[in-house]
Structure 1
Amino acid sequence: MNFVTPFLAGAAEVKTTPPLGTRINGDFITHYATHIHDDLFAKALVMKSGEETVALVIVDICVMPKEFVDGVKTLIASRTGIAHSHVLIASTHTHAAGSVADVHLGSLDPAYEKMLPGRIAEAVQAALQQLRPARVAFGSVAAPEHLRCRRYTMKPGYMPLNPVTGGTDQVKTNPFGVEAYIDHSVAPTDPELGFLAVQGLDGRWIGILGNYSLHYVGDWENGNISADYFGCFSHRLRERLNAGGEFVGMMSNGTSGDVNIWDFVDGGRYPQAQFEKSKFIGHDLADRLVDSLGSLEWQPEPVLEAIFESIPCEIVKPSAQELENAARMIAGARFETIDCDDEGLKRIYAREQLLLAEMPAIRECPAQAIRIGSGIIGGLAGEFFSETGLYLKTQAGTGSYFTITMANGNAGYVPPRHEMERGGYETWRCRYSCMAPGTEAKIREKLLAMIRTLRA
């Protein structure tokens, strides 16, 4: 008698909302939580087929360093037995969450860093307890309206400052206050809202994992805690599907390092009140996804496979002369009260050069590929541009594919070589943007090879 191994899936979410007073990063300076607008969560989707178990975990947070994520994976493995290579943990990239990383003058919160790992592991454990016979389907809808490449060439009369070199860039990122000088954006965006849908064989929903290449929306005052549009999307899914408490909606961040919805050309097309733009975008994406569900092709017995590799990559450090200049620049600086104007940015980035000089010359950049039936999900540890995601989708050669970024760690910005040559905020050398030219292509090709291995 032949027995078919059932495909099982379960999902769960655990609240990770920090207490008031917790540090928030994602800006040039530290902010502190003064108001909880909506709760944050660690959300886990666990799938099992035979001996293979995969966990996809999305956390409402800005970024998580590799060392932090590695510790969380070790904790998950000790509690569940799921292998490091088969767990993907990614940040949504909301900029209104507790901090576990130092970015510029934004510092980690030690208490939150201590609390969060257990909550993430708890979500995976809870999802395992919810395992039941299931089926999966990949889907896709177009949603180009909410995407803008935030890197612009500017008209004569405005020279974009590079605070590291003291010279000028070819592009300006987020041209606040100088919109009149905008000529055009420099790169395409990825219009696809890709998703993985998971449903019990009894018809009850288990979870949906969306993927969209849009930065956080950020339509709130600093000090608020919010899951941004990622949370609005998830809540709307549950509402539209009339799903029970066992359903978990998740939104992952695609290749959005050069994309946001701060529309500098047509800024009046969205609601202006705080949190209303996040709600509008999150609900619109969820509605489009739900309206497309009738065309899905369900797979009741999908194959599960996963590959993980940590890629050693060189970083670029300042020269001795640059370090000498940086030391002079920060002499007498008042970082406690610094303004993020041109002079303030020069001092912030001077500090970055001195700290960068003390870092190891090699940064480990994780890459991961997970096959779920006819689809593959890639994971990259950093902020990659839409160009990278579009390339991988074109070359993957599989039925469905999308890339989750800020997954399994954070290498910071990893722009394509030609975008590094243009300059702009994402390329200003610092601890968060220090990868050697050509790193994006190296990582991209390695992930593509992993994808093709799973596809074979």
Structure 2
Amino acid sequence: FDARVGISNAVHDDLYVRALVLSDGAIKAALVSVEVIAISAKMSLAIRRQVEHATGIPLSQIFLCATHTHCGPVTLHHFFNQGQPLDEAYLERLTSTVVDTIRQAADALKPRVLKTAMVPCGGIAVNRRTADGLPVDPFAGVLLVEEMTGERVAIGVFYACHTTVLGPNTLSITQDFPFYTLEALRRELGPEVEPFYINGAEGDLSIGHKSDLSAVGVIDSFRTFETAQRLGEKLAQAVLTGMTHLVEEQPLLDVRSAYAPLPLKSYDPLPEMAERRRLAIAALADSKTTLAAKQTALFARIEEYYARLYEESQTPEPKYLPAEIGILRLGGTAFVSLPGEIFVCVALAIRERSPFPRTLFLGLANDYIGYLPDEFASTTSGYEVVASRVPAEAGRVLQQHALQLLEQAREVVCAEGEI
């Protein structure tokens, strides 16, 4: 949180790495939940190279998905923590923990049954940029792992919402609301079942607070652990209710990836952006209690940061942001990996045109490119749009590349005659 003052002083609940390795005998893939705010492209590549060496799983078939908790260690530099020191010893330990966890999962491979569903889920995520709180992703994805004899082994929950029930005033380490989701599933399904959570296209989704206010330290009274528990358990109940709709998947995997060249915003020359920032900070000093002044200063700082990145880029004109996306097809379900905070409309458009019966999203996967707004949002500005490096057309580029990968996966499925 940009508005957070102070460092963590307690642990409410521990943060985990949880890995699921899949194989159909020919193809292997790893689906990994990492309970941190984000994973940089550099860290992702280092981890995946080590995993490839240790397990033989190709790095392009490994999906590292950050849950995006804001109540955990800093793992990368971005607009929200410019110049903040990183704990390199922690990052090394995190890297080795992720690698070891995936390796252990790969060593434990055995024949099992996989079942999936998209279950209706309402009353949790709210679109924080619209008056009516819509659109949101109306579904939670479920992936159930069973032994061949029927005993449940693990359950994955795929749901799009900022894990920011707790605000900048929370100084305890916590998974946020997914902690309560996973605990409720464990209580109901038994301690032998390992639950995990993966975020989705949550760029403009939260539990109702406005990002423009939250970013400058205005904290709604409902952002408490009690609310996190209520919403987390509500998500768990939706998953449990929807388990009657689970579909057993055929043991067929397909994994594909590509880099979508997203256009970058253009910025004024760096000296001009620096002067805007200086003036905004000066105005803030003269009006310490004005929200508008705080927001202007924050936005000016973000834009100057991106202008610096733009000028430092060695890429010839036109400049692009390479965004890694991937498809993990499991039977009739397709998982689309998204490398940052994608607005929900961008993902819903992919799902609408997807050739698969069930399409789910792996948010904040393998990289963190920041926000990717949809076209309507880009006309209304606000925190997320200012904090995005890409213009409106980037969403269309991402959609195009994702749909191409989905169509390629569908052609393989049709050739195999399964769906």
Same fold (TM over 0.5): yes
Show CA shifts across 1:278-306 (max 9, x none): 1222222212222332332323x410110
Aligned equivalent of 1:123: 101
* CA distance in structure 1 between the aligned counterparts of 2:121 and 2:185, rounded to whole angstroms: 16
Which of 208, 214, 228 is the aligned partner of 2:155? 208
Contact 1:31-1:222 within 8 A present in 2 as well:
no
Contact 2:325-2:336 within 8 A present in 1 as well:
yes
Deviation at 1:308, TM superposition (A): 1.1
What's the % identity of the aligned pairs?
Answer: 22
SS at match of 2:150: coil
Aligned equivalent of 1:442: 397
Please tell me whether residue 232 in structure 1 is matched to residue 180 in structure 2. yes
Aligned equivalent of 1:181: none
- Higher-helix-fraction structure: 2
The runs of 4+ residues in structure 1 deviating greater than 6 Å are 330-335
SS at match of 1:398: coil
Deviation at 1:392, TM superposition (A): 1.6
Deviation at 1:118, TM superposition (A): 0.7
Deviation at 1:327, TM superposition (A): 5.5
How many residue pairs get aligned? The number is 387
Cα distance change, pair 271–355 in 1 and its aligned pair in 2 (3 A): closer
SS at match of 1:262: coil
Aligned equivalent of 2:116: 138
Q: Which runs of 5+ in 2 are unaligned?
A: 211-219, 314-318, 412-419
Aligned equivalent of 1:305: 254
Deviation at 1:42, TM superposition (A): 0.8
Q: Which runs of 5+ in 1 are unaligned?
A: 1-25, 153-183, 265-269
Cα distance change, pair 368–271 in 1 and its aligned pair in 2 (3 A): same
SS at match of 2:36: coil
Aligned equivalent of 1:248: 194
Please tell me whether residue 355 in structure 1 is matched to residue 301 in structure 2. no
* CA distance in structure 2 between the aligned counterparts of 1:121 and 1:109, rounded to whole angstroms: 19
Please provide the CA RMSD for this pair.
2.6
Contact 2:126-2:134 within 8 A present in 1 as well:
no
Aligned equivalent of 1:198: 145
Cα distance change, pair 329–391 in 1 and its aligned pair in 2 (3 A): same
SS at match of 1:358: helix
Which of 76, 84, 94 is the aligned partner of 2:59? 84
* CA distance in structure 1 between the aligned counterparts of 2:281 and 2:378, rounded to whole angstroms: 29
Aligned equivalent of 2:170: 222
**TM-score between both structures, scaled by the size of structure 2:** 0.85
Contact 2:70-2:163 within 8 A present in 1 as well:
yes
Aligned equivalent of 2:238: 288
Aligned equivalent of 2:127: 149
* CA distance in structure 2 between the aligned counterparts of 1:186 and 1:62, rounded to whole angstroms: 24
Show CA shifts across 1:226-282 (max 9, x none): 0011222122212211141xx321111111211111268xxxxx9958312112222
Aligned equivalent of 1:418: 376
Aligned equivalent of 1:188: 135
Contact 2:162-2:203 within 8 A present in 1 as well:
yes
* CA distance in structure 1 between the aligned counterparts of 2:282 and 2:230, rounded to whole angstroms: 45
Please tell me whether residue 365 in structure 1 is matched to residue 312 in structure 2. no
Contact 1:313-1:362 within 8 A present in 2 as well:
yes
**TM-score between both structures, scaled by the size of structure 1:** 0.79
